[in-house]
Structure 1
Amino acid sequence: MAPSNSAPRRFVQRYGVLLLAVVVAAAVWASATGDIGVRSPLSGAVVLLLAVFSGWAAGTIRTRRWPVFLAAALGWLVLAAAAAGVVASYQAGLRLRGRRLAIYLAGAAVVLAGGVVIGVQVGGVRRITTATTGNVLLLAACLVGLPLVLGLWVRARRDTLAALRDRAERLEREREAHADRVRAEERTRIAREMHDVVAHRVSLMVVHAGALEVTAADPATVEAAALIRTTGRQALTDLREVLGVLRQAEAAVVPERGLDALDELIGESRTAGLRVSRQDEGEPTALPATLGRTAYRVVREALTNVRKHAADAETVVRLRYLPDGLEVLVRNGPSESGSALPGAGQGLLGLRERVELLGGRLEATPADGGFLVRALIPLEGAT
């Protein structure tokens, strides 16, 4: 149904006013020549002029009202033509309110009374048509009453539809706000449960690692226990930061690490057993904090993946300082053990989104039996 109705609606919207102007002009001409009204004794030039003016006035109703009101008065008083009057009454009901509508009704009454006076003076058919009591009442109903009521009804219908539309939009906004509140409450609940469960398990791990560090006699075991304890505490800190965002309960934002903490990150990875080396190319320059945090995240995620999938592989972290940005490259060689921890691959997806938000690009692909992560981060997007 919608496609079949759209074409006529577009036609009316585009050509409706033009058609109305033509119809009004033709109706005034026909009325003045006696085809559908009282024949006028005026010359054809005067009749044509009034017909053209009436059509032009009807064609301007979307932007101006007074021309059609003037054409209605002149058409009725001079030619006893009703076409412009019908359009004027409909527009009055559609657009005028309160005092302006009352002024229009008073003006219409004056025009009808003037038509009675002119009809009495002219006599003949004009008198019978416009000056007898029955015809005057009938003309008042047809020229003013019915078009005015129709305009009022259309306006009331439009106002009702607009009110319903506004109400629907308001309800939609309220529904979205309610959905946002529900999601926020659900995030808070999930964050609380995650904190209670994960933090408890990690805390137990830290406690047992601390006990093992104290009681173990083997230096390697003591070093491993210390690493587990330190890593567990850092994991608890990271967990609180992440869950604090979900719960929106942190009063202050904990600053993220940047390139100044990269050596510490690489040192932790070496302590965990990775064979990692760092290489810098180009002239190091002061970089925006956003770029530094993103580069740090790229290296951290890449090294995490190396620990999961190729803990025994040689790994290189390379920072290449460019005139317009920074290139971060983490490459690991092939793994000899073939053992790997499970992973969902969400870390690289999040990194790609973060890098692309700064206008850069991220590449993560197998290379020479190992794996390569390369990020190119421009200065322009980070400033």
Structure 2
Amino acid sequence: MASTAVVVRRVVDRYASPTLAVVVAGAVWASGSGAVGVRSPLPSGLVLLLALASGWAVWASRTRRWPVFLAAAVGWLVLAAWPAGVVASYQAGLRLRGRRAMTAYLAGAALVMTAGVLVGLAVGGLRQITTATPANAAAMAAWLVAFPMVAGLLVRSRRDVLTALRDRAERVECEQEARADRVRAEERARIAREMHDVVAHRVSLMVVHAGALEVTATERATVEAAALIRSTGRQALTDLREVLGVLRQTPVARSADSGSGDDPLRGLDELIRESRAAGLPVRRRDEGDPRPLPATVSRTVYRVVREALTNVRKHAPAAETTVCLRHLADGVEVAVRNGPSVAGPALPGAGLGLLGLQERVELLGGRLEAGPADDGFIVRALLPVAEWS
């Protein structure tokens, strides 16, 4: 229903002016030729010229008002033609704003109507009866000036009311959006507090116990496992602090293990070392001419590799995995490919990691692909560098 109304309004806006111009031109010609008014003694060519000029003035009235006012005055005085006068008075009520402009138009209309009475008295005959007698002069004034102007004022008043209602609705919508933003911010802060209370406390205990085990254990394998647990827990606390900072909308310091800096190579090596220590066979391959990367691109490369290796450990334990970093002329491509799982059950996952990763990559103008490949799985991201240099 709404779409139909929009289409109708567009059609009206597009064709109303030319259609009205043709109607006015035809009506002025009919009035001057005597079909619907007083026949003019002027040559037919001059009557046709005045009719065409009146039609053009009506067509141009959307951008310029004076042509239709002039056409109305000339048409009434020369031909006693009323169509252009009706349009002029309607446009005056619709578009003239301010007491001074309305008073000026009414004064001009009164002057033209008075001059029309004088012309009718001078010409005599049917024109004098039609335009110069008191009753007919008053009726023509009402028909040419009063009624069309009142109609224009009513339409303008309705438009002003609709505009005011639309502005009010937009203000209410903006206020609702601002209120919703405040509610979301408060909810984020509440979630951040709950995450800190629930998760940070448990992870901190894990780090403390792992540190104690690292100090007291006698077997080398146990000491290494405890050290890995402690470092992983500390990294988890750092990542959790970053997430909480985003939820609270407060800036947080960048950690070294999040891939900050101009070169992600050290962060990638640490990720690969941790995965190997956890039992995942990972090898790395670099292609192209290595060069420093912008910090934003560097962090995204790190996130892609971390998420991909995490997914491999979850869904394909002990699978052969390759991390490939290709330096291109205008960007960098990182790909993590793993073979089929050879040992261990798959761990549950929320399925949101790759979705968030795709959003992060696309924010940088890049492209992320993830899907099965050769009985395994591949995650590939292509990131432009020139835009962030």
The two structures have a TM-score, normalised by structure 2, of 0.87
Displacement of 1:246: 1.1
Confirm or deny that 1:328 pairs with 2:342.
no
For 2:301, the equivalent position in structure 1 comes to 295
Q: 1:307 to 1:75 in 2, by over 3 A?
A: closer
Does the 8 Å CA contact 2:300/2:360 hold for their aligned counterparts?
Answer: yes
Q: 1:277 to 1:118 in 2, by over 3 A?
A: closer
Identity of aligned residues (%): 71
Displacement of 1:36: 2.7
Give the letter for the 2:126 counterpart: V
Aligned residues: 383
Cα distance in 1 between the residues matched to 2:113 and 2:201? 91
Displacement of 1:321: 3.5
Displacement of 1:309: 3.8
Give the letter for the 1:199 counterpart: A
Confirm or deny that 1:240 pairs with 2:246.
no
Confirm or deny that 1:85 pairs with 2:85.
yes
Cα distance in 2 between the residues matched to 1:15 and 1:33? 27
Give structure 1 stretches of 5+ with no counterpart. Answer: none
Give the letter for the 1:93 counterpart: G
Displacement of 1:68: 1.6
| Superposed CA offset, 1:166-195 (max 9, x none) | 221222222222222211211111111111
Cα distance in 1 between the residues matched to 2:250 and 2:108? 69
285, 291, 311: which one pairs with 2:291?
A: 285
Give structure 2 stretches of 5+ with no counterpart. Answer: none
Displacement of 1:150: 0.6
For 2:120, the equivalent position in structure 1 comes to 119
State the secondary structure of the residue aligned to 2:282.
strand
State the secondary structure of the residue aligned to 1:61.
helix
Give the letter for the 1:49 counterpart: L
State the secondary structure of the residue aligned to 1:60.
helix
Cα distance in 2 between the residues matched to 1:51 and 1:237? 83
Confirm or deny that 1:354 pairs with 2:360.
yes
Displacement of 1:304: 2.2
256, 266, 271: which one pairs with 2:272?
A: 266
Cα distance in 2 between the residues matched to 1:331 and 1:254? 27
State the secondary structure of the residue aligned to 1:342.
coil
Give the letter for the 1:272 counterpart: A
Range moving further from structure 2, 92-101 or 36-45: 36-45
For 1:39, the equivalent position in structure 2 comes to 39
Displacement of 1:4: 6.2
Displacement of 1:314: 4.3
State the secondary structure of the residue aligned to 1:317.
strand
For 2:71, the equivalent position in structure 1 comes to 71
Cα distance in 2 between the residues matched to 1:67 and 1:222? 95
Displacement of 1:326: 3.3
Confirm or deny that 1:223 pairs with 2:224.
yes
Q: 1:280 to 1:14 in 2, by over 3 A?
A: closer
